């Protein structure tokens, strides 16, 4: 006689409840994080969406609402963050490579550097601004309140983050790649350049996107570095005075007239759009790099 | 003398001068007398920090033949094979005492270049480690890091190496496909092809079949028999039948527990022709091991 087997699930009430609760909290956390973004963007949109036009990007900051726009702060932000990224990305990546691949694990010197980098990542941005003010704007470099000084400080701010995430990405590359390359008579540098680095690019890119996103919204240190509120010309080089988006938004928002507060919301929308586009570009570049590697 | 590992001639031509090289004149303390050995090890000990992994090894490895290292886990056979192309250098704290001669050149001479040594003495690892690149690029990697071959030369090297590793017919139509899509056995043959591409004299294999199924293992073994016509092969294996099937000489290692502490050290027990090791070994420990009474 064949046995009748029932495969109907008969989990205990407790297991069912825990499983359900776990799912619930997962969905809840997704809902909270997405909800926040949606809430911010939609309230900005409701308030200032109608105001958005190319005009805002062609006009310069002004006390006159009809002529007020965001051209110089937007260009200024892109200058500062762009130059800072150009400096911080290669420097950070090379530092990470040195620490992971060449410094040696037990090395006291590299452990000291490591500790310092972790501390630097936690230093408030204003402190970097003060250092920049003391040493770059005045001090030894005497660069003044310029795009160059600002980019230097923002680069300092980005460096620890880039170094830390790049190290994680480099560490995640299987050691067997290195061994295999060295066993073929590659020099340590060739193994790193041809195998380790390409494999580490996706991870590094993700971290760098984060660092750039944070930098573009940074305002406190740049306030100390002479980001002026109403600059009616675009930066033309490293020695130009400049202003940036977050500061201009702040300036507009603190104006007592309601039109300017709406203009500030429009500025926030522009900044978020720029951020979104930058992230999109970085993600596309990363995917291209990943696909090329896996051919 | 004639062999200077600092310089990097593109081809391995070892000119033995007629007075007889240092290696040839040295008497080994144990094992068969081998004429014109590729490797001569004299009183070799390898340590990691204070821990001695393997000690007092004296043996000579013949050219154009397969030599197997067998023994229980922790007996230092993998450590020993890794000292033969200085792959062990990559582990922090690893050090080698005694003399490891490659023909008449000392591998651990302070002027010897590890990069050049690894180019001449290739290695295939336990776990297949193809690079995350195409099949073609995997094989082309070695020639590329060792020079700038022309595309036509490179094509020829890739085909020859893949044919040499008995993989050509399976992959000739998809050389551009990712190496990671190959089966485990194919990946391991690709790794063998990759080391052939730099025209080494010796191929070291560290348990090359332990991650493969019996059929893939058989193919690698057939390949080894084919390769020994042109290359010197040293293989570490856990599989005694494999050693008996493919090798001409076998070295049997044991793990000795140091009475002073809890440290275990590998020791060479017996080194002789494989026939003798598996039929009439002179040491009772070898007999116990090969007959399956131990290990």
pLDDT digits over A13-39, tens only? 888 889 999 999 999 999 999 999 999
Residue of A184, A187, A198 lying closest to B195 (CB–CB): A184
Contacts of B197 in chain A (CB under 8 A): 184
Cα angle A140-A145-A149, degrees, rounded to a multiple of 5: 60
β-strands B94-102, B105-106 pairing: antiparallel
pLDDT value for B294: 63
Cα distances from A20 to residues A7, A10, B201, in angstroms, run 21, 15, 63
CA–CA distance, A64 with A66 (Å, rounded to integer):
6
- Let me know: does A248 contact A229? Beta carbons within 8 Å: yes
**Do the Cβ atoms of B224 and B233 come closer than 8 Å?**
yes
Tokens of B113: 């270049």
**Residue/partner pairs of A112-120 with CB below 8 Å, 24 or more apart:** A117/A160, A117/A163, A117/A164, A118/A160, A118/A164, A120/A159, A120/A160
Q: How far is A202 from chain B (nearest CA, A)?
A: 14
pLDDT value of residue B200: 93
pLDDT level of residue A1 (50, 70, 90 thresholds) = low
Show which residues on chain B lie within 8 Å of chain A, measured between beta carbons.
85, 87, 90, 92, 115-116, 118-120, 122-123, 125, 127, 129-134, 141-142, 144-146, 176-178, 180, 191, 194-195, 197-198
How many Å apart are CA A185 and CA A201, to the nearest integer? 24
B226's tokens? 């084919």
H helices of B49-147, in order, are 77-83, 114-120, 135-145
Residues A194-230 pLDDT 10s: 999 888 888 888 888 888 888 888 888 888 887 676 7
Q: Is B249 strand, coil or helix?
A: strand
Q: Which residue has the tokens 């003044």?
A: A144
pLDDT tens-place string over residues B45-64: 999 888 888 988 999 999 99
List chain B residues with CB under 8 Å of A174.
129
Residues of chain A in contact with residue B141, where contact means CB-CB under 8 angstroms, are 181, 184, 186, 194
pLDDT digits 0-9 by tens, A67-122: 888 888 898 899 999 999 999 999 999 999 988 888 766 678 888 888 899 898 88
- For B9, what's the count of Cα atoms within 13 Å in the CB-facing half-sphere? 9
List, in sequence order, every residue forming a beta bridge with B39; answer none if it has no partner: B61, B102
Which of A180, A181, A187, A189 would best serve as a mutation to test chain B binding (most B beta carbons within 10 A)?
A180
Res B26: pLDDT = 41
pLDDT single digits (tens) A104-115: 666 788 888 888
Gap between the Cα atoms of A133 and A150, Å rounded: 9
CA atoms within 13 A on the CB side of B74: 8
Q: pLDDT, tens digit, for every residue of B220-275?
A: 999 999 999 999 999 999 888 899 999 999 999 988 886 666 678 888 989 999 99
Closest partner residue to B85 among A174, A181, A183, by Cβ? Answer: A183
Beta bridge partners of B66: B233
Q: Half-sphere exposure of residue A263, counting CA atoms within 13 Å on the CB side?
A: 29
Q: What is the CA radius of gyration of chain B?
A: 19
Backbone angles phi, psi at B54, to 5 degrees: -155, 145
- Report strand pairing: B66-70 vs B232-236: parallel
Cβ-defined contact of A199 to B127 (cutoff 8 Å): no
Of B123, B133, B144, the CB nearest to A183: B123
Summarised one tens digit per residue, pLDDT across range B169-194 is 999 999 999 999 999 999 999 999 99
Answer yes or no: is pLDDT of B15 > 50. Answer: no
Integer Cα distance of A188 and A180 in angstroms = 11
What is the interface pTM, i.e. ipTM, of the complex? 0.82
**Residues on chain B touching A177 (C-beta within 8 angstroms):** 129, 131-132
Tell if the CB–CB gap between B176 and A174 is shorter than 8 Å. Answer: no
CA distances from A76 to A62, A182, A245, B94 (A): 16, 46, 8, 54
Q: Which of the residues A177, A184, A195 would you substitute to probe the B interface, choosing the one with the greatest number of B C-beta atoms within 10 Å?
A: A184
A295 touches chain B (CB under 8 A): yes
Q: What is the pLDDT of residue A7?
A: 75
Copy the structure tokens of residue A34: 């997405």
Contacts for B129 with CB less than 8 Å, ≥ 6 apart = A174, A176, A177, A179, A180, B191
Digit-coded pLDDT (tens) for A237-280: 787 888 888 888 888 888 888 888 888 999 999 999 998 888 88
Pull the structure tokens for residue A218: 């940074």
pLDDT tens, position by position, A128-169: 989 888 888 888 877 888 888 889 999 999 999 999 999 999
């Amino acid at each position: 006689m064949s046995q009748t087997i029932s495969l109907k699930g008969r989990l205990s009430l407790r297991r069912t409840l825990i499983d359900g609760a776990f799912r619930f909290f997962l969905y809840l956390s997704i809902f909270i994080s997405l909800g926040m973004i949606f809430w911010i963007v939609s309230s900005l949109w409701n308030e200032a969406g109608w105001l958005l036009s190319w005009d805002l990007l062609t006009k310069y900051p002004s006390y006159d609402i009809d002529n007020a726009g965001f051209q110089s702060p937007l260009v200024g932000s892109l200058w500062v963050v762009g130059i800072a990224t150009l400096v911080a990305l290669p420097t950070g990546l090379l530092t990470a490579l040195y620490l992971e691949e060449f410094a040696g694990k037990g090395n006291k010197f590299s452990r000291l550097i490591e500790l310092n980098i972790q501390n630097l990542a936690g230093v408030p941005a204003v402190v970097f601004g003060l250092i920049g003010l003391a040493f770059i704007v005045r001090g030894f470099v005497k660069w003044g309140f310029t795009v160059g000084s600002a980019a230097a400080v923002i680069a300092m701010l980005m460096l620890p983050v880039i170094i830390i995430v790049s190290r994680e990405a480099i560490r995640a590359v299987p050691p067997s790649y290195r061994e295999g390359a060295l066993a073929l008579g590659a020099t340590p540098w060739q193994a790193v350049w041809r195998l380790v680095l390409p494999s580490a690019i996706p991870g590094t890119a993700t971290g760098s996107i984060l660092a750039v996103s944070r930098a573009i919204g940074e305002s406190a240190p740049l306030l100390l570095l002479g980001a002026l509120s109403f600059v009616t010309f675009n930066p033309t080089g490293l020695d130009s005075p400049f202003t940036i988006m977050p500061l201009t938004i702040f300036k507009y928002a603190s104006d007592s007239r309601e039109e300017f507060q709406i203009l500030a919301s429009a500025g926030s929308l522009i900044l978020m759009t720029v951020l979104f586009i930058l992230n999109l570009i970085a993600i596309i570049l990363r995917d291209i790099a990943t696909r090329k590697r896996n051919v | 003398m004639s062999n200077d590992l600092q310089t990097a001639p593109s081809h391995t031509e070892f000119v033995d001068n007629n007075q007889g090289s240092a290696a040839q004149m040295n008497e080994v303390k144990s094992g068969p007398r081998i004429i014109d050995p590729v490797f001569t090890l004299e009183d070799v000990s390898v340590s990691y920090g204070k821990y001695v992994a393997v000690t007092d090894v004296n043996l000579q490895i013949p050219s154009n033949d397969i030599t197997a290292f067998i023994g229980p886990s922790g007996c230092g056979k993998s450590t020993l094979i890794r000292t033969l192309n200085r792959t062990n250098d990559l582990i922090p704290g690893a050090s080698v005492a005694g003399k490891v001669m490659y023909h008449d050149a000392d591998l651990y001479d302070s002027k010897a270049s590890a990069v050049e040594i690894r180019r001449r003495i290739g290695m295939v690892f336990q776990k297949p480690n193809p690079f995350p690149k195409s099949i073609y690029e995997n094989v082309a990697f070695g020639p590329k890091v060792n020079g700038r071959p022309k595309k036509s030369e490179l094509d020829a090297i890739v085909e020859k190496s893949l044919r040499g590793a008995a993989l050509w017919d399976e992959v000739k139509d998809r050389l551009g496909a990712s190496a990671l899509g190959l089966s485990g056995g194919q990946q391991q043959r690709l790794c063998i092809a990759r080391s052939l591409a730099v025209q080494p004299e010796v191929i070291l294999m560290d348990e090359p079949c332990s991650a493969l199924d019996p059929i893939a293992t058989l193919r690698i073994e057939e390949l080894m028999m084919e390769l020994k016509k042109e290359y010197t092969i040293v293989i570490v294996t856990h599989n005694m039948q494999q050693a008996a099937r493919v090798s001409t000489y076998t070295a049997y290692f044991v793990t000795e527990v140091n009475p002073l502490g809890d440290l275990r050290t590998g020791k060479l027990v017996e080194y002789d022709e494989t026939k003798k090791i598996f039929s009439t070994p002179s040491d009772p420990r070898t007999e116990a091991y090969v007959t399956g009474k131990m290990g």
